[in-house]
Amino acid sequence: MKTRNQLVWPIFYKMEPTTIRHLKNSYEKAMDEHEEKFGKDSEKLKAWRSALFEVANLKGRHLKYGYEYELIEKIVEMAIKI
């Protein structure tokens, strides 16, 4: 996104962006497992945390309920307009 000047639209599928931003639930568990594997102060782990936080702060599409095809149609319509 930064190095290639690419447009990014995060899609939060049945997931609140705040869950990702603050590494809650399954994200917290996954980070704990990665800490054991790579070490708490691992540069790789810091980069992953930073990337997840950054993506969760981007404006994106959020589907809490409903049909997936409706969200896909909206995304395609937005892409066509660009």
DSSP secondary structure string, the chain? -TTTT-----EEESS-HHHHHTT-THHHHHHHHHHHHH-TT-HHHHHHHHHHHHHHTS--EEESSS-HHHHHHHHHHHHHH-
CATH of the domain at 31: 3.40.50.10140
The predicted model scores a pTM of 0.73
What's the domain range around 20? 11-81
Q: How many domains does the chain have?
A: 1
- In eight-state DSSP terms, residue 76 is H
Asked whether residue 1 is domain-assigned, the answer is: no
Within a domain: 4: no
Tokens 């190095």 locate to 3
Residue-wise pLDDT for 1-47, tens only, equals: 888 988 888 888 888 889 999 999 999 999 999 999 999 889 999 99
CA 5 to chain centre: 18
